[in-house]
A and B are shown apart, each in its own frame.
Chain A
Amino acid sequence: MAENPNQHLVGIESPGSIVHVDKSRIRQFARAVGLDDPAYFDEAEARKRGYPSLIAPPTLPIALGQDVEPGGGEMPRIKWNVATLLHEGTEIRYDRPIFAGDVLTSKSQLKSITTREGKSGVRVIYTIEQAFYDQQGKRVCALLLRTSEKAE
Chain B
Amino acid sequence: MATPKFTDVKVGDVLPSYVHEKITRTDLVKYAGASGDYNPMHHDELLATSVGMPSVFAHGMLSMGLLSNVLVRWAGPDAIRHFEVQFRAITWPDDKVTCTGTVAGKREANGEKLVDVDLQCETKAGTRSIIGKATVALPA
Contacts and interface: CB of A to CB of B under 8 A. Distances in A.
A55 interface: yes
Interface residues of B, number: 38
A62 B114 CA distance: 24
Given A63-B34, A83-B41, A58 B61 contact: no
A66 interface: yes
Nearest to A38: B77
Contacts of A55: 77-78
Interface in A10-34: 25, 28-29, 31-34
Contacts of A89: 84-87
B124 interface: no
A66 B40 contact: no
A86 interface: yes
Contact of A82 (B39, B61, B77, B90): B39
B84 A33 contact: no
B64 interface: yes
Contacts of A86: 60, 87, 90
A86 B58 CA distance: 11
B41 A94 contact: no
Interface stretch (B4-12, B67-75, B100-108): B67-75
Interface in A96-127: 97
Given A85-B39, A90-B60, A35 B68 contact: yes
Interface residues of A, number: 37
A34 B59 contact: no
Interface in B23-63: 27, 30-31, 33-37, 39-41, 47, 51, 59-62
Interface string A75-95: 000000011111111111110
A65 interface: yes
B68 A59 contact: yes
Interface of B: 18, 20, 27, 30-31, 33-37, 39-41, 47, 51, 59-62, 64-66, 68-69, 71-73, 77-78, 80-87, 90
Interface of A: 25, 28-29, 31-35, 37, 39-40, 49, 51, 55, 57-59, 62-63, 65-67, 82-94, 97, 144
